[in-house]
Amino acid sequence: MPTPDINAVELAETAAAAFREVFGAEPEGLWAAPGRVNLIGEHTDYNEGFVMPFALPFYAVAAVAKSETWEFHSTYGEGDTVRADVLGTSAEDGVAGWAGYLAGTAWALNESGYPVGPVRVAIHSDVPHGAGLSSSAALECAILIALADLYGHEIDRGEAARIAQKAENEYVGAPTGVLDQSASLLCTEGNVMFMDCRDLSREQVPFDLASEGLQMLVIDTNAPHRHADGEYASRRADCEEAARLLGVPFLRDAPKDAHLDDDRLNRRLRHIVTENARVLDTVKVLEGGSVAGIGDLLTASHASMRDDYEISCAELDSAVDAALGAGALGARMTGGGFGGSAIALVEGAAAAKVEAAVIEAAAAKGLPTPRVFVARAAAGAHRMA
């Protein structure tokens, strides 16, 4: 089972080499931003609730230099180069595809009172795509810190997360919360970040798996994409409707015993209220000095997402059930849902057994073969060179 780690030298060299090859010059610098796992606190961000992500040691690295024109190159996908009049486009007729995350971030900086000019960018990323590990937020955050540095803006990292979210919401057009961009910009090595999405106040909570002989496995289910965007928007709309019926600004403000007669809305409400409580309990258990003690909270979170929020799928349920059956202390899907990845907290000695069980269970059900790796809490976005 691989234990990915930041291969800083290789990532940086590949991004810089791509820049040199495509643009025939040296980049002015290299900026890196990671993907993430959310330990607990799912779909709570747009309800102004609590989240608990940690950064993964997978990064998008941007090699960047100021230029006369906007030119974006990526080493993955088609390996193509996109030229665009970024600031001349609007959110409606913006750049599409992977380059849209870069163009959208430049657009959002400008809209937010941080004027930036054209750059040439070569992007290289080892954040897995389509695995629910925030590969697109990593792109946004890498270019954001690069543009801020090159154009002389000192931007508070919380505000920067809001700007990257604006790019995602208004330019790319995905109605997501602030979780992924905050994780990429604000997480710190060795810690899981407890954040209140109402005011982005946060606390770095030590996440010392090794001292208890534990490992956190990430299980990329390789599930095909299924209408995740539409379902995400409909959960968000359900929450807004539930808050309106309860007469509160956001479900974060709903009383613990709040109830709605509409069964679907009541289940959405119950997920958000109980999930926020589980995040607070997780913080308490971790601060009390036990990582193993959060296992049941993770598993309860999964049940809530499966039954009340209805965002799980056969691949995620199979991975979680098989991991628990093979002795995991806790397991849950992580991220938006409808595919992507699950996490499992395991005793180090049980890791291989859990991996085998997850793969076997998928095969028995005719599901895609999951990819399992060991995660660790890595550093947030930073300049590399």
Pairwise CA distance, residues 332 & 370, whole Å:
15
Q: Does 335 bind ligand GAF (CB under 6 A)?
A: yes
Q: Does 179 bind ligand GAF (CB under 6 A)?
A: yes
* One-letter amino acid of 172: V
Contact 177, 36 (CB under 8 A): no
Q: Does 308 bind ligand GAF (CB under 6 A)?
A: no
Task: State the residue for tokens 């959002």.
Answer: 108
Q: Does 48 bind ligand GAF (CB under 6 A)?
A: no
Provide, rounded to whole angstroms, the least separation between the CB of residue 334 and ligand GAF.
8
Q: Does 128 bind ligand GAF (CB under 6 A)?
A: no
Query: Rule CB under 6 A: which of 336-355 touch ligand GAF?
Result: 336
Q: Does 176 bind ligand GAF (CB under 6 A)?
A: yes
Contact 52, 40 (CB under 8 A): yes
Q: Does 184 bind ligand GAF (CB under 6 A)?
A: no
Is 180 annotated in the active site? Answer: yes
Pairwise CA distance, residues 187 & 51, whole Å:
12
Q: Which of 45, 140, 238, 308 binds ligand GAF (CB under 6 A)?
A: 45
Q: Which of 15, 43, 114, 299 binds ligand GAF (CB under 6 A)?
A: 43
Kindly provide the b/e burial profile for residues 72-111, where b requires at least 16 CB atoms within 10 angstroms of the residue's own CB.
Answer: bbbbeeeeebbebebbebebeebbeebbbbbbbbbbbbbb
Nearest CB to ligand GAF, comparing residues 119 and 172: 172
Q: Which stretch binds ligand GAF (CB under 6 A): 25-33, 41-49, 279-287, 312-320?
A: 41-49
Q: Does 49 bind ligand GAF (CB under 6 A)?
A: no
Q: Which stretch binds ligand GAF (CB under 6 A): 3-11, 39-47, 144-152, 244-252?
A: 39-47
Cα within 13 Å of Cα(63), Cβ side = 24
**List of residues contacting ligand GAF (CB under 6 A):** 38, 42-43, 45-46, 176-177, 179-180, 335-336
Q: Which residues are known catalytic residues? A: 180
